[in-house]
Structure 1
Amino acid sequence: MRTLRRRLLPLLLASASVGAVMVLLPPALAAFGLLPWSQALILSGVILLGAAACALAGGLLLVRRSVRQLATEVRTHTRAVTEAVAAERLEIAEANADLEQVRAGLERIEGEVLPKQRRQFKRDLLDQGRKDYEQQVAWSELREHLDTATFMPPLRGWAASPDLVRLIVRHIDRLRPELVVECGSGSSSIWMGYALRRQGRGRVVAIEHDAHYAEQTRALIAEHGLDDVVEVRLAPLVEAEPGTVTDTGLRDKGAVPRWYDTSAFADLDDIGLLLVDGPPESTGRQARYPALPAFWPYLADDAVIILDDTSRKDERALGRRWLEEYPELLRVEEPAEKGAHVFSRKGA
């Protein structure tokens, strides 16, 4: 309506101006005696009516045009509103479809996944409880069997698990070795020291690559009064000899595989039990493989090699490699928490 008024206003002003001139023209002619007053009045009235009719016609044309434009705008707006409503309905429909999928997924999770998860959680909980119980039993048996000090270094975690230490102690009791060598050091070194002290013979030599950890183990040894039984030797990790690693391409790539400095234990001989629990997995692929080639010349005929952490892929692979390269070896897989393989010469 504002557009209509803006368009009509100039037209009305123009029409009014022209109409005023035309209406005043006959009286002006009559005033000058050029036209009788009666005719002048009639002519002014006719002119006034004609001007009004023209103005009305023009206004009607403008109104019609404005109505058409308004109709076009209404149709355009209606179309836009319709499209917006349709798009919104489509979005709502898609949202409902997504909601149905979510609802179906939740129903599936509630009906299938959650029961499975609960059953798996229950199995895992029972399995962990059984493992914890077994480790507690092994711990208690070790304490009672070895008559250790009241406060012993903890097992499990980074340290050996009680079931592995129990396995080691059983072999120490059976073999009564003069020398036990451990790749790595820590809590297990203390427990093996008690086992050797109980039998009244033998010593433990723990090979450690980390100077700080070696000092910690030495402090534990002193605390338990096992200095005469357990020795920790520092053997930094150095470039391993060619052929003692699986991935020979490592050297070409600039990644030199490392193992203990063998000069630290070159004087050892007649090793009755070898525990391979180091170096750490982060050292490289099959990081513990060199243990057997390095110690093989120094092993007693009835020696036992115990490989820890055989639940890991790397340790299982290097164990198979040992069997392939040393066919005289026999392997027994022990049910330990982290996995343990026991190697010995056939017939020993």
Structure 2
Amino acid sequence: MLSSTSFLFVLFILLLCGYTLHKVRLVHLLLHEVRDHALREPASLYRQLEALQGLYAELNLCRSLPATRGWAASPDLLLELARHAQAACPQVVLECSSGTSTLVLARCMQLNGSGMVYSLEHDPLYAQHTRRELERHGLSAWARVLDAPLQPQQFGAATWPWYAPDALRGALPQPAQVDLLVIDGPPQATRQLARYPAGPALFPLLADGAVVFLDDSDRPGEQRILALWKEEFPEFEHSSKPCEKGCALLTRRAGGHG
């Protein structure tokens, strides 16, 4: 018979072995995850380089675009936007947040020979930067960056910081019929589900057949937003594009206005 001290010692050894095995398994899984990430990263980078090269070729750009890493729209999303804009020839394009996508879409309008891009931008410094880039590329006639500070606004039973409604008043042609809506703002740090108000605030401005691009759609918050929109705006068909950070597409069915 084991003494109580010996029993506790054996129990301690067994628990220690179990804990050690658990840690070894976690390390093993982590190593596999690191290996898989290391294998995926070059492939992802190559895909973005391919998309960026394709973007320059399709738009026949003679000047460099701003950076497309970090917070900026990824090259594969920009290429999807360019291809859609060139095929659909939208006359009124509305953006939530300005930047490289503004230049790409303005260039598409220029190549199409018609259309206008309106970009809501809450950051005055970034708005000025985008305007300078538009001027540098000779695209100022094809896009307007609208100063739209974030203001507390009521949507449903909650309050969101959203683009000042005065920014759009008098800017869009009347009656407003937006053919393409690109949602890449506000930043998610401003509030949980920060981009949800784009639905109630901007979807009523969309023409039949209009398409909505939602960037960063792989994020849990954006997935929740899409679920809310699907419930509240059943007139839209949902699809997606395999972009780096996720890209959801919503298309308004003909006769979908309430």
Q: Out of 166, 182, 185, which is 2:95 matched to?
A: 182
Match of 1:322 in 2: 229
Aligned mates of 1:117, 1:286 — CA distance in 2: 31
Could you say which structure has the greater relative contact order, defined with CA pairs below 8 angstroms and 6 or more residues apart? 2
Structure number with larger C-alpha Rg: 1
What do the CA deviations read for 1:156-175 (whole angstroms, capped 9, x no partner)?
21100011111111211221
Match of 2:163 in 1: 260
What CA distance in whole angstroms lies between the structure 1 residues aligned with 2:112 and 2:225? 33
Say whether residues 1:341 and 2:254 are aligned partners.
Answer: no
What's the offset of the Cα at 1:266?
2.7
Aligned to 2:113: 200
**C-alpha distance in structure 1 between counterparts of 2:33 and 2:192, whole Å:** 32
Question: Aligned-pair distance for 1:347?
Answer: 5.6
Q: Which runs of 5+ in 2 are unaligned?
A: 1-8
Aligned CA distance change for structure 1 residues 119 and 302 (closer, same or farther; 3 Å): same
Tell me, in whole angstroms, the C-alpha distance in 2 between the residues paired with 1:319 and 1:113.
Answer: 34
Q: Report Cα offsets for 1:167-200 as digits up to 9, x if no partner.
A: 1112112210111111001111111111221222
**C-alpha deviation, 1:304, in angstroms:** 0.4
Gaps of 5+ in 1: 1-93, 251-255
Asked whether 1:331 is paired with 2:234, we answer no
* More helix by percentage: 1
CA displacement, residues 206-235 of structure 1 (integer Å, 9 cap, x when unaligned): 100111111111111111111101110001
Counterpart-to-counterpart distance in 2, 1:224 and 1:159: 18
The residue correspondences of 1:107-256 to structure 2 (distance < 5 A) are 112-243=25-156, 248=157, 256=159
Change (3 A) 1:224 1:241: same
Q: Which amino acid aligns with 1:194?
A: R
In 1, are the aligned partners of 2:209 and 2:253 still within 8 Å (CA)?
no
Amino acid across the alignment from 2:169: A
Contact 2:213–2:247 (CA under 8 A) maintained in structure 1: yes
CA-based RMSD: 2.3
Q: CA deviation at 1:306?
A: 0.7
Partner of 1:52: none
**8 Å contact kept, 2:153–2:161:** yes
What is the aligned partner in structure 1 of residue 193 from structure 2?
286
2:6 maps to: none
Alpha-carbon distance in structure 1 between the residues aligned to 2:199 and 2:130: 24
Q: How many residues align?
A: 240
Aligned residues with identical type, % of pairs: 34
In 1, Cα distance between equivalents of 2:90 and 2:142: 13
* CA distance in structure 2 between the aligned counterparts of 1:292 and 1:108, rounded to whole angstroms: 46
SS of equivalent to 1:228? helix
Aligned to 1:87: none
Deviations 1:231-290 (A, max 9, x none): 1000111121341xxxx3x6xxxxx52101112113422211000111111221221111
Deviation at 1:149, TM superposition (A): 2.4
Residue 291 of structure 1: how far off its partner (Å): 1.2
Deviation at 1:307, TM superposition (A): 0.8
Q: What is the one-letter code of the residue matched to 1:261? A: A
CA deviation profile, 1:80-125 (whole Å, cap 9, x unmatched): xxxxxxxxxxxxxx9xx89xx59x93x8766x55543333222101
Distance 1:114 1:238, change over 3 A: closer
State the match for 1:4 in structure 2.
none
Asked if 1:297 is matched to 2:204, the reply is: yes
Instruction: Give the Cα separation in 2 of the matches to 1:333 and 1:171.
Output: 13
Q: Displacement, 1:342?
A: 0.3
CA distance in 2: counterparts of 1:228 and 1:242, whole angstroms? 34
